[in-house]
Structure 1
Amino acid sequence: MVFKYSVLGLAVGSALMAMPVLAEVASDANIERINVTGRTFNDYKVGTASGAMRGDIDLMDTPQSVNVIPDFVTDEQLATNLAEVLVNDSSVTAGTTRWNRQVFSIRGFELDSGNGYLINGHQQWSHYVQPIETLQQVEVLKGPSSMLYGQSGPGGLVNMVTKKPTYDSMLNLGFDTDGYGSTRAQLDAGGSLNEAQSIRYRGVLVKQDTKYWREYSANDENQERDRWLGYLNMEFDLSDDLLLSVKYDHTQDKAGIDAGGWLDKQGNVIGERKTVWDAPWAFTDNTVSNLGADLTWHMSDNWKVKAGYNEQQFNRQRFDSAPQYTEDPFTKGYSIKPFDRYDDWQHKTAYADFTGEFALAGMEHQLLIGANYLDYYYGQYIDRYVDDATKGTITVVPGQPIVKPDLDYHRDTTKYESEYKYYGFYLQDLITINEQWKLLAGVRYDEQKKDGLGENSYAVSPKFGVIYSPADNGSVYVNYSKSFTPQAGITDPLNVNHDTNLKPEYGIQYEVGTKWELFDDSLLLTAAVFDITLENISVTELLTSSDPRSEDGKYTSITTQGGEQKHRGFEVGAQGKLGDSWFVTSSMMYLDAEYQTGDIREGKTPIDAPEWSANIWTRYEVTDNFAMNFGAIYVGERFADTNNTISKDSYVRFDIGAAYTMDIMGKDVSLRANVRNLFDTEYLDGGSDKMVTIGQDRNFSVAVEAKF
């Protein structure tokens, strides 16, 4: 079912954002009040991460490695997508950007688009470029988080926290452009709708037209993208103790396809770095809507109930040319196999949390009891180019036009459908034993129901942590956590174990870390050592006809489980204020990752898992109105194929920026200029050798923002 309220939602949002607001300060004892009165230059350090413990618990009391990236930093960087936000955490590495989506890994484990991302704690289907203009901060939760969120990978999760309504009226207007002619216009407004300030709103509108630097091989035209975004969040104080929040966002995002570059056996880019092998008429068109509500009831000063629901509708048309790699595309040409595909994803999520603080047996407890639920549906239609003579393949010669094929939309097509439901119950207690010691214990039970193979999966996910605070400003912690990811059944009729279910993959982590707040708590220093093992990896072995397991050639393969993937390493980070005028956010990771599967992957390193990576972004205030920025990103050598025969060189990318704020007619107006990839370094980003993302060359960006 496609949402019918998208146009209405945008119209209401536009009207609300344009309304004048005249109000006085409300007196509300229990409901959290948020004021936005302008930005300060001390927003690099964030003290809490709501996703880490499903509540606003101080990071110093969180026995887990967590990095919070505030919007103040990414606004300075003129970030336009999630990839440009996550470069601020070296434990996150980029994968492919194929099909107008972005793939990431945390601690070397790839995040699944179905369970690796959260919006305000709700599981989010993220098979598209996430809008970031609506975000207040991005939280990178490292290590297994299944105890709180259910099925997910062992590397961690990305929780995106959206902007909240404000009591006082605000209006920010922004515009930015770059050296390729891309433009983005933004409106961010908030305030109260009544004198008592019991009804508040926050709205965002974005129009973006992106012109990419890479060009199609057929006509030398640049890849382009057209995006609209509307966001509205309303808060209603139903009483002094009861808060209702209703959120809606709608994204319309159409872009040409760039599946990435091709590498030869030496890891060199085939052809020019700017060449796009996809056809100029290929595109993806995404329509995404989210509608949700959260209800918070403060039962007393120490007890609270919070419940929420979110419904996500994601429709995509992907008209793909699907270029096929050849070793010499310039003399022999290369082939495309066009198809037109329609995808329909529907996510319905719900949760209920009961939290409380109490004393028992001389110890303080912060208790969480909760449950969450996911109803997932996916449907797909696909129509392929059919030509009996070429078997659906068209030969392409670079520099010559690629004719758009006629597809037979009238022939019968079969709709593929998949759906499942899962729910989980969790219990967590953070116990303060005394001033030096805290203990965290939690457990979760999950069940997934699905028709067909893999119909039922059950899991118990524990988590334990101990925090020791040798000083008021520092802590040392250890934790043990576990993740699980259900696996599909074996459907290949030529496999010995066909029509059987696979067990879930389990990730087990041991982590030791430390956190310190220095300079009057203005600088946060962190470090962590981790050891993660992913168990129950499927291993498929090809069989010869003479192998007795093939039953005289009846079967050609056998799939079993028992393989492992081990990732060990350490991280360090710094975030906050170094002096009166100097601010920094920085991190570094060392990673030793390898397969222990007993097949061709044995001893190999996963794709896009560098041994070393690091980043830094700083701000120095020259005057009260003028500031300068400097940034650097280092990514070590990575493998581009499973066999580890093709590698991508390490690189360092430098960025700089400057901002000037002036008063025009009593309003703050900021001008910003940034240069990304200052020294025009040639580098390769994420993706395998057949769809690698080519690092962008030097690019200039300028922006203006006015605050009312």
Structure 2
Amino acid sequence: MKLSPLYLALLTSVTAAHASTTNENIEKIEVKGTYFNDYKVDHAKGAMRTSASLLETAQSVTVITDTIVNEQLATTLGEVLTNDASLTAGSQQRNREVFNLRGFGLSSSTGYLRDGHQHWSHYQQPIEILQQVEVIKGPSSILYGQSGPGGLVNMVTKKPTAQTIFNVGGDVDQHGSTRFMVDAAGALTDAEDLRARGILVKQDVQYWREYQNGENRERDRFLGAFVVDYDISDNALVRVHYDRTDDKAGLDTGAWIDENTNVIGDDKTIRDMFWAFTDITVENLGIDFNVFLSDNWQVNLGYNEQTFERQRFESSPSKSSFNEATNSYKSNPYDRYDDWQFTTAFVDFIGEFETAGIEHQFLIGANSLDYFYRQLLTSADSFNFTAGQNEPARPDISYKTPDRTSETEYDYYGIYIQDLITFSPQWQVSLGGRYDKQTRKGRNNESFLPKFGVLYHPNESATIYTSYSEGFEPQNETINNQNDINDGMKIDAVTSEQREVGIKWQLFDDRLMLSSALFDISKTGTLVTEDLPVAIGDITTITTQIGEQRHKGFELAAQRAVTDRLFVMASTMYLDANYERDAKLQGKRPADAPKWSASLWTRYELNDAIAFNAGAFYEGDRFADSKNTITKDAYTRVDVGATYKFVMSNTDINLRLNVENLFDTNYLGGGGTNNVTVGEGTSLRLAAQFNF
């Protein structure tokens, strides 16, 4: 090994000092530095559940670091995911976000992970506790069970550190919205075997859209998170985590658009009543163990209990009842309580060994999910409302005296195996399979899923790969139509297949990662309803599971450092998506699935104190409905920002200004004809962070 003169000088001085200070305290010098390539990520553990690098992963994966989240002053997961063009937004109604990945919708129950656990994601995620977000593309059922064809979003949380951290920050926007955060971490013992991290967030949001009484929509959110690590021994670690989110907000179910894609009324108008609200409490409590059994084998165990309680008091405005001449519509108010219980567990055995000169990175594991859901609902009498009138009083009803209740319970477990086989420095093969079973009263679903990938490395900085994977989504429903010949029939699991070919290439001394992927995904088993040639009494239709969606396309991406001062994260996707084998939707394109989308975010460091950011986010034409009769125009939104760093009284201070939608572009975001998101005009956000 070649040693630099500086290293030799430091080694000599330390050795001499140690020899002359046998009974004296040695002064400790703490050296702080900055690693400039903080867009750089080499691993995404959620993709393989092992330490395999991105170059050893036969799958398209995007990793968005907290550096980018902080630069963009992001407050929601949706703002984070705009950095990957393969993700497009759906409706943002009712204080939650919906996304499409490669054109397929991400389910709240099966589309999201947190630290490898399936995570119920029916609310706006607390992104302040996240270290990075991994977008794992394509069916991923082999490792996680029920999973949609588009892929998964894995949210990786911040962990305790031995180094003491105490960060205090706050931001404010032009509407008066505020967010304050404290992030503290460090060792609790001199031996540093007990470490902790705590995060507190208080956010008050004033939205730009208004109720018809002139009041702005508001949101009040609190987040508390605490994580403790304890080194049981040199080879074993236990981690305990807890977080709680309290989130109450006025309701905004989105704008209405007409057949010409014009917003009905003013862009600012909220059709919901001022008294409509949603009140959410989410708690996560869990424990994880990581034990190294030997130099080559380890076992990881995880357990998490997630409780999600929500009250939603709706005014429920109905677009179908809208009278344009009188500017009036009907509302159907109700009070609803939802209780979801999501209990997850997993155990992974991971080992590395060699047989006959062939290297193996081997994984065998199992995971499970227990799901419980209960709903209480009470409805009030409908009423008509005309714009300009005084809002009617909130109905005197409560879910605590429900008109109807419902409960759903199921559990599933899966056993999986995966082997990354290295034949030579150039060739690797990834093999895997999973047996999965879901049980529910009166219904069981089980399946076996394979996964296969081949990787060729022309050099140590490049990979060419091809892969095949499958996914499945159990359906907890029956056909419910008394006029259908198959009324009451149980719906089988929807399945999916993906074939992907890609290239990953690291340039400029491995500072910049370029990647591309061609993919072909088919989803089969969707419901198709057709008219009977001849009615049989009142039976007029037949519904079967013969439908298919076919999504083909390609992606290009670049991430990390171009120079020592210029950093970039860019991506684009072309998507050809269609319904097939469906008489009513044959050849139609799914809603909110543009043919072209692109994103770009850059940082240029003028010097060690001043940095500038610029970003552009493009979405092509999209349909607002599955019948493809209403088209939302393409748009490009440009954002800019700047950071100034300085030190005062041994405190690092960062000041930041961001401008979103710099050119005040008018656009429509995700959502359909009665719940579309109207893009906000130019907005400003100012932030300050203090690192003690």
Q: Is the 8 A contact 1:36 1:170 kept in 2?
A: no
Q: Which moved more, 1:164-173 or 1:492-501?
A: 492-501
SS of the equivalent of 2:326 reads helix
2-structure distance, mates of 1:210, 1:332 = 29
2-structure distance, mates of 1:404, 1:37 = 59
Residue 191 of structure 1 deviates from its aligned partner by 0.3
2-structure distance, mates of 1:411, 1:348 = 28
2-structure distance, mates of 1:197, 1:667 = 24
1:533 aligns to 2:522 (yes or no): yes
1-structure distance, mates of 2:222, 2:422 = 48
Instruction: Determine the structure 1 residue equivalent to 2:111.
Output: 116
2-structure distance, mates of 1:101, 1:49 = 26
Q: Counterparts of 1:206-355 in structure 2 under 5 Å?
A: 206-217=201-212, 219-325=213-319, 326=321, 328-329=323-324, 331-355=326-350
Q: Which moved more, 1:204-213 or 1:497-506?
A: 497-506
Residue 412 of structure 1 deviates from its aligned partner by 5.5
Give 1:423's aligned amino acid. Answer: Y
1-structure distance, mates of 2:405, 2:73 = 41
Q: Counterparts of 1:201-600 in structure 2 under 5 Å?
A: 201-217=196-212, 219-325=213-319, 326=321, 328-329=323-324, 331-385=326-380, 392-409=381-398, 413-452=403-442, 455-487=443-475, 488-543=477-532, 547-548=533-534, 550-553=535-538, 555-600=539-584
Give 1:630's aligned amino acid. Answer: A
SS of the equivalent of 2:149 reads coil
1:138 aligns to 2:133 (yes or no): yes
The verdict on how the C-alpha distance between 1:110 and 1:36 changes in structure 2, with shifts beyond 3 A counting, is farther
2-structure distance, mates of 1:494, 1:448 = 30
- Partner of residue 70 from structure 2, selected from 70, 75, 79: 75
Residue 451 of structure 1 deviates from its aligned partner by 1.1
Q: Is the 8 A contact 1:640 1:689 kept in 2?
A: yes
The verdict on how the C-alpha distance between 1:572 and 1:413 changes in structure 2, with shifts beyond 3 A counting, is same
Give 2:496's aligned amino acid. Answer: G
1:625 aligns to 2:609 (yes or no): yes
Give 2:247's aligned amino acid. Answer: D
Give 2:490's aligned amino acid. Answer: N
SS of the equivalent of 1:147 reads helix
Give 2:68's aligned amino acid. Answer: V
Give CA-to-partner distance per residue, 1:589-621, whole Å, 9 cap, x none. Answer: 000000003221111000000000001000001
2-structure distance, mates of 1:304, 1:665 = 45
SS of the equivalent of 2:170 reads strand
Residue 667 of structure 1 deviates from its aligned partner by 1.2
The verdict on how the C-alpha distance between 1:188 and 1:437 changes in structure 2, with shifts beyond 3 A counting, is same
Give CA-to-partner distance per residue, 1:279-309, whole Å, 9 cap, x none. Answer: 1110000000000111011001110001110
Instruction: List runs of 5+ in structure 1 lacking aligned partners.
Output: 1-34, 386-391
Residue 327 of structure 1 deviates from its aligned partner by 5.1
Q: Which moved more, 1:70-79 or 1:404-413?
A: 404-413
Give CA-to-partner distance per residue, 1:19-59, whole Å, 9 cap, x none. Answer: xxxxxxxxxxxxxxxx9967643211211001000122210
Instruction: List runs of 5+ in structure 2 lacking aligned partners.
Output: 1-29
Q: Name the TM-score, length of structure 2 as normaliser.
A: 0.94
SS of the equivalent of 2:95 reads coil
SS of the equivalent of 1:83 reads helix
Residue 411 of structure 1 deviates from its aligned partner by 5.4
1-structure distance, mates of 2:234, 2:422 = 30
User: Percent identity among equivalent residues?
Assistant: 52
Residue 679 of structure 1 deviates from its aligned partner by 0.5
1-structure distance, mates of 2:573, 2:656 = 31
Give 2:106's aligned amino acid. Answer: L
2-structure distance, mates of 1:402, 1:349 = 44
**Aligned length, in residue pairs:** 660
Give 2:392's aligned amino acid. Answer: V
- Partner of residue 149 from structure 2, selected from 143, 148, 154: 154
Give 2:418's aligned amino acid. Answer: Q
1-structure distance, mates of 2:397, 2:126 = 35
1-structure distance, mates of 2:129, 2:51 = 20
Q: Which moved more, 1:396-405 or 1:286-295?
A: 396-405
Q: Is the 8 A contact 1:329 1:398 kept in 2?
A: no
The verdict on how the C-alpha distance between 1:168 and 1:313 changes in structure 2, with shifts beyond 3 A counting, is same
Instruction: Determine the structure 2 residue equivalent to 1:389.
Output: none
Instruction: Determine the structure 1 residue equivalent to 2:43.
Output: 48
Give the RMSD, CA atoms, in angstroms.
1.4
2-structure distance, mates of 1:78, 1:290 = 25
1-structure distance, mates of 2:373, 2:585 = 31
SS of the equivalent of 1:235 reads strand
Instruction: Determine the structure 1 residue equivalent to 2:19.
Output: none
2-structure distance, mates of 1:371, 1:38 = 41
2-structure distance, mates of 1:514, 1:118 = 26
2-structure distance, mates of 1:328, 1:659 = 50
Give CA-to-partner distance per residue, 1:232-276, whole Å, 9 cap, x none. Answer: 111010111110011100000000111111111011111111111
Instruction: Determine the structure 1 residue equivalent to 2:653.
Output: 669
Give 2:177's aligned amino acid. Answer: S
Instruction: Determine the structure 2 residue equivalent to 1:4.
Output: none
Instruction: Determine the structure 2 residue equivalent to 1:19.
Output: none
SS of the equivalent of 1:75 reads helix
Give 2:666's aligned amino acid. Answer: E
2-structure distance, mates of 1:406, 1:677 = 39
Residue 471 of structure 1 deviates from its aligned partner by 1.3
SS of the equivalent of 1:331 reads coil
- Partner of residue 604 from structure 1, selected from 583, 588, 605: 588
The verdict on how the C-alpha distance between 1:336 and 1:56 changes in structure 2, with shifts beyond 3 A counting, is same
Give 1:526's aligned amino acid. Answer: S
Residue 541 of structure 1 deviates from its aligned partner by 2.2
Q: Is the 8 A contact 2:483 2:540 kept in 1?
A: yes
Residue 403 of structure 1 deviates from its aligned partner by 1.3
1-structure distance, mates of 2:32, 2:368 = 37
2-structure distance, mates of 1:163, 1:567 = 35
Instruction: Determine the structure 2 residue equivalent to 1:163.
Output: 158
2-structure distance, mates of 1:107, 1:36 = 45
Q: Is the 8 A contact 2:378 2:402 kept in 1?
A: no
Instruction: Determine the structure 2 residue equivalent to 1:388.
Output: none
Instruction: Determine the structure 2 residue equivalent to 1:22.
Output: none
2-structure distance, mates of 1:37, 1:343 = 49
Residue 504 of structure 1 deviates from its aligned partner by 1.0
